[in-house]
Amino acid sequence: MSERPYVIDEMISAKAIAARIEELCNAIHEEFRDTDKLIVVGLLRGSFVFIADLVRELDLPVEVDFLEASSYGDSMESSREVRILKDLRGQIEGRDVLVVEDIVDTGHTLKHVTRLLKSRKPGRMRTIALLDKPSRRETDVAADWIGFSIPDEFVVGYGIDYAQRNRNLPYIGKVRFPDA
């Protein structure tokens, strides 16, 4: 089965992403400045580049853990059924937690994950997403911090993929099908 050819148009440059991460980290530092340790929980796989850049910029004691949730598979559309594929290794009860998401689209994944993590009784829990598509929201969830609000476009790069491709792009790009 051959893949449909597509083109990627740059939407958000690597330089703009780096500048925004610095701003976000200042806000996170203010929120958690009194923490003894901030547990940064990355939602795999799309957030791994964002997490790496965030924790390098944070001037706080951090621990990194990962949770893998899926509602897309290799599709461009959410199935709206969220499955936990990999759970946290550590405990978060009574701890300060920052949940890192690559993109909030329909909101089903973030809502499911925050409900799950809140049931584990963290001390403080906040959420951050690199990208937000408010026009696609189907739930009443919102991240505490947003890197960029974007229109309803299918995007790749900076850790975000299309069928496991294009994660390595240093920028956020819009996928376009020339034959459409």
pLDDT the model gives residue 164 = 87
Asked if residue 62 belongs to a domain, the reply is yes
Asked if residue 29 belongs to a domain, the reply is yes
Residue 65, amino acid = D
Q: Are 152 and 103 in contact (CB under 8 A)?
A: no
Asked if residue 164 belongs to a domain, the reply is no
pLDDT the model gives residue 180 = 63
Compute the distance between CA of residue 156 and CA of residue 162 in angstroms, rounded to an integer.
6
Asked if residue 174 belongs to a domain, the reply is no
Compute the distance between CA of residue 99 and CA of residue 88 in angstroms, rounded to an integer.
12
Asked if residue 75 belongs to a domain, the reply is yes
Structure tokens at 158: 């900076």
Element (DSSP H or E) covering residue 41? strand 38-44
Closest C-alpha to 148, from 23, 49, 57: 23
Catalytic residue among 105, 144, 152, 179: 105
pLDDT the model gives residue 5 = 87
- Using alpha carbons only, what angle is made at residue 62 by residues 13 and 16, rounded to the nearest 5 degrees? 10
User: What is the total count of domains within the chain?
Assistant: 1
Q: When comparing pLDDT for 178 and 73, which is higher?
A: 178
Closest C-alpha to 40, from 27, 52, 24: 52
Compute the distance between CA of residue 97 and CA of residue 122 in angstroms, rounded to an integer.
7
**What is the CATH number for 17?**
3.40.50.2020
Q: What are phi and psi of 43, to 5 degrees?
A: -90, 110
Asked if residue 162 belongs to a domain, the reply is no
Asked if residue 128 belongs to a domain, the reply is yes
- pTM exceeds 0.85 for this model: yes
Could you read off the pLDDT of 133-149 as tens digits, one per residue? 999 999 999 999 999 99
Element (DSSP H or E) covering residue 37? none
Identify the band that residue 1 occupies on the pLDDT scale cut at 50, 70 and 90: very low
Identify the band that residue 121 occupies on the pLDDT scale cut at 50, 70 and 90: very high
Range of the domain at 17: 13-154
Asked if residue 140 belongs to a domain, the reply is yes
Structure tokens at 104: 């909030």
Q: Are 133 and 150 in contact (CB under 8 A)?
A: yes
Q: Is 105 labeled as catalytic in the residue annotation?
A: yes
Q: Is the pLDDT of residue 55 over 80?
A: yes
Residue with tokens 């690559």: 102
Mean pLDDT, residues 40-60 taken together: 95
Q: Is the pLDDT of residue 79 over 80?
A: no
